[in-house]
């Protein structure tokens, strides 16, 4: 009985509660000048694990004196604050415009490409069909592309608002590298018209998707909104990730000429959204006037290396004043094509977005320039287990007020309550 009581008393001495009460101070670290401990079993002994920063890294002098907790608080207090209002506004602007833009027209990936026809066909149309056949052949072949039922892509990005221009001055971001917002995105697609993208940039995350019937987007500041009009593909997927959808989108385009891009001769295909599509996308005070996309296909490789699209939106003020026009232009350069399972995929690129606001008065226009650089890290096709349940829209989905850009409508609602001197870039896209 005495042996048993001694055994349990020894166990109580080694309980976690007693150990925590005894070890209230940091263990003494071994000095670099002290010899390393010698292993008693004949092997090499492990050095003691440091719970704080290395005293020899140049910033651990105060750590030896104050401990790990005080060192952490000192580093946090020393770091500059970056949560200013203008940074939040810039991030909303970047994600609202560059996060999940859509293509101008509806695309059905299940429809085959039109056959090349020269008889009774305009030269612009027949040339475009020939260019698209070369593009599909260079991207892996129509036979291989038709066997892809779903795809997955993951990459990283950096976004920054680089320039802001008014009628009287131009303000450039001199600290673009420091103010750039880094993030990542994941894109899932499933034939024929379902896709889902998730972007996490800075401290914000947005979602957008399509279940084949409804296109929606969710932002932390506006919630979930449905885009009005026909189902359209995600522009980010057309940037070298989905050759078959890209070819189907330009199926009704016209060849308008040639141009040299980055020293490479290219054919130019022009695609315009028809009036019925523009009318279906318009709603309430917002009217989509035009949406045009240009594709630059390399004459040497046949691949798409440059994209440019522009759409013009007219927003009528609820107070009955003059209308305001927003012109959004996105140019994207595609680079680093590499084969993935036989499909040529662009693994990097750079986009420049220009927002031009005009129409209120002769000297009240503003122009904002934003940039995005992205790299693709993982791509996979025909992922097993992907089903239609992955593309279900949110339950709190509500109708958007301005197609795929609800931020512009929020701007006009709060504009009348603001003086002219306060209509700057930071507040122009805040939700009032």
Q: Strand, helix or coil at 242?
A: coil
pLDDT at 294: 98
- Residue 45 pLDDT greater than 80, yes or no: no
Both structure tokens of 419: 């003086």
Judging by beta carbons within 10 Å of its beta carbon (0-12, 13-18, 19+), is residue 191 exposed, middle or buried?
middle
Q: What is the DSSP string of 306-359?
A: EEEEEEEEEE--TTS---EEEEEEEEEEEEEEEEETTEEEEEEEEEEEEEEEE-
What average pLDDT score do residues 11-23 get? 45
Give the mean model confidence (pLDDT) for residues 315-326. 83
Give strand pairing partners of 171. Answer: 164
Residue 329 to residue 293: CA distance in whole angstroms? 10
Query: Which helix (H) or strand (E) segment is 428 a member of?
Result: helix 425-428
Q: How far is CA 106 from the centre of its chain?
A: 21
Average pLDDT over residues 34-52: 41
Peptide bond into 175 cis (omega under 30): no
Structure confidence at residue 399 (pLDDT): 61
Residue 31 is predicted with a pLDDT of: 47
Looking at the domain assignment, is residue 24 inside a domain? no
CB-based contact 190:362 (threshold 8 Å): no
Q: What is the pLDDT of residues 134-173, one digit of tens each?
A: 999 999 999 999 999 999 999 999 999 888 888 788 888 8
Residue 361 resides in a domain: yes
Q: Copy the structure tokens of residue 418.
A: 């603001």
Evaluate whether residue 382 is within a structural domain: yes
What integer best gives the mean pLDDT of the chain? 77
pLDDT score for 397: 83
Give the count of beta carbons closer than 10 Å to the beta carbon of residue 85. 10
Q: Give the rounded percent of residues in the chain with a pLDDT score beyond 90.
A: 47
What is the distance in angstroms between the CA of the first residue and the CA of the last residue of the chain? Answer: 77
Mean of the pLDDT values across residues 44-51?
Answer: 39
- pLDDT, tens only, 363-388: 678 899 999 999 999 999 999 999 99
**Please, which pLDDT band fits residue 432 given cuts at 50, 70 and 90?**
very low
* Predicted local confidence at residue 404, as pLDDT: 52
Whether 18 is in a domain gets the answer: no
Q: List the structure tokens of 421.
A: 């001197």
Q: Which two tokens stand for residue 414?
A: 């709060």
**Does pTM top 0.85 for this prediction?**
no
In a domain, 33, yes or no: no
**pLDDT at residue 86 tops 80:** no
Under 8 Å between Cβ of 92 and 206? no
Give yes or no for a contact between 155 and 184, defined as CB atoms under 8 angstroms apart.
yes
Instruction: Categorize the per-residue pLDDT at 311 as very low, low, confident or very high, splitting at 50, 70 and 90.
Output: very high
- Is the pLDDT at 336 greater than 80? The verdict is yes
pLDDT of residue 209: 96
Q: Is residue 290 part of a domain?
A: yes
**Number of domains making up the chain:** 1
- Quick check: 335 and 349 in contact, CB under 8 A? yes
- More confidently predicted of 430 and 387: 387
pLDDT tens digits for range 190-215: 987 899 999 999 888 999 999 999 99
Q: Which pLDDT belongs to residue 403?
A: 45
Out of 87-91, 145-149, 236-240, 346-350, pick the least confident.
Answer: 87-91
Q: What is the pLDDT of residue 217?
A: 93
pLDDT at 175 (0 to 100): 76
Can you list the pairs that 26-34 forms with residues at least 24 positions away whose Cβ atoms lie under 8 Å? 26/51, 26/52, 26/67, 26/68, 29/55, 29/64, 32/56
Which residue is associated with the tokens 């523009």?
278
pLDDT for residue 410: 52
Predicted pLDDT of residue 3: 54
47 — pLDDT class (breaks 50, 70, 90): very low
Cβ-based neighbours of 24, under 8 Å, separated by 6 or more? none
The rounded distance, in Å, linking the Cα atoms of 104 and 14 is 70
Burial of 238 (0-12, 13-18, 19+ CB in 10 A): buried
pLDDT greater than 50 at residue 39: no
What are the Cα distances from residue 397, in Å, to 50, 77, 217, 222, 225? 50, 41, 9, 11, 6
Q: What is the rounded CA–CA span in Å between residue 389 and residue 423? A: 43
Q: Band of the pLDDT at 122, cuts 50, 70, 90?
A: confident
Q: How confident is the model at residue 91 (pLDDT cuts 50, 70, 90)?
A: confident
Please list, in sequence order, all residues whose beta carbon lies within 8 angstroms of the beta carbon of residue 305, skipping any fewer than 6 positions away. Answer: 261, 262, 264, 266, 296, 297, 298, 333, 334, 335
Range name among 91-100, 126-135, 293-302, 398-407 with the lowest pLDDT average:
398-407
Judge whether residue 420 has pLDDT over 70. Answer: no
Domain membership of residue 94 as a residue range: 86-428
pLDDT of the residue at 152? 97
Alpha helices in 23-60 (DSSP H): none
Long-range contacts of 78-83 (CB under 8 A, 24+ apart): none
Instruction: Give the pLDDT score at 2.
Output: 57
Give the CA distances from residue 228 to residues 54, 401, 427, in Å, rounded to whole numbers and listed in that order: 57, 9, 26
Query: Is residue 18 predicted with pLDDT exceeding 80?
Result: no
Question: Could you tell me if residue 37 is inside a domain?
Answer: no
Query: How far apart are the C-alpha atoms of 227 and 213, rounded to whole Å?
Result: 11
Residue with tokens 């930071």: 426
Residue 177 inside a domain? The answer is yes
For 425, the 3-state DSSP assignment is: helix
């Amino acid at each position: 009985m005495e042996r048993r009581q001694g055994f349990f008393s020894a166990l109580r001495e080694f309980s976690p509660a007693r150990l925590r009460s005894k070890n209230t101070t940091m263990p003494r670290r071994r000095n670099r000048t002290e010899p390393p401990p010698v292993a008693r079993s004949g092997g090499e002994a492990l050095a003691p694990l440091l719970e704080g920063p290395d005293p020899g890294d140049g910033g651990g002098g105060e750590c030896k004196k104050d401990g790990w907790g005080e060192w952490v608080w000192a580093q946090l207090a020393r770091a500059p604050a970056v949560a200013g209002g203008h940074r939040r506004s810039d991030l909303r602007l970047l994600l609202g415009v560059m996060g999940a833009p859509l293509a101008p027209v509806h695309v059905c990936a299940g429809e085959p490409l039109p056959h090349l026809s020269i008889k009774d066909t305009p030269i612009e149309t027949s040339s475009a069909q020939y260019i698209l056949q070369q593009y599909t052949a260079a991207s892996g072949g129509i036979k291989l592309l038709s066997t892809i039922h779903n795809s997955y892509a993951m990459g990283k990005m950096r976004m920054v608002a680089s320039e802001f221009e008014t009628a009287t001055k131009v303000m450039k971001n001199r600290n673009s590298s420091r103010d750039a917002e880094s993030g990542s995105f994941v894109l899932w697609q499933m034939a024929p018209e379902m896709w889902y993208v998730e972007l996490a940039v800075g401290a914000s995350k947005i979602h957008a998707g399509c279940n084949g019937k409804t296109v929606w987007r969710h932002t932390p500041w506006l919630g979930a909104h449905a885009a009005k009009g026909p189902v359209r593909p995600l522009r980010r997927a057309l940037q070298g990730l989905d050759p078959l959808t890209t070819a189907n989108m330009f199926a009704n385009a016209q060849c308008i000429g040639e141009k040299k891009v980055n020293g490479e001769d290219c054919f130019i295909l022009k695609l315009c959204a028809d009036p019925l599509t523009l009318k279906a996308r318009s709603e309430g005070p917002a009217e989509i006037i035009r949406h045009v996309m240009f594709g630059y296909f390399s004459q040497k490789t046949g691949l798409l290396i440059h994209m440019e699209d522009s759409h013009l939106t007219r927003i009528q003020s609820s107070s009955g004043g003059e209308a305001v026009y927003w012109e959004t232009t996105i140019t994207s350069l595609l680079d680093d094509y590499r084969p993935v399972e036989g499909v040529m995929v662009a693994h990097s690129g750079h986009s420049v977005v220009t927002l031009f606001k005009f129409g209120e008065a002769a000297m009240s226009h503003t122009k904002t320039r934003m940039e995005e650089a992205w790299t693709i890290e993982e791509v996979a096709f025909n992922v097993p287990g992907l089903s239609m349940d992955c593309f279900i829209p949110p339950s709190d989905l509500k109708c958007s007020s301005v197609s795929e850009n609800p931020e512009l409508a929020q701007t006009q609602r709060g504009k009348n309550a603001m003086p002219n001197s306060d209509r700057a870039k930071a507040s122009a896209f805040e939700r009032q």
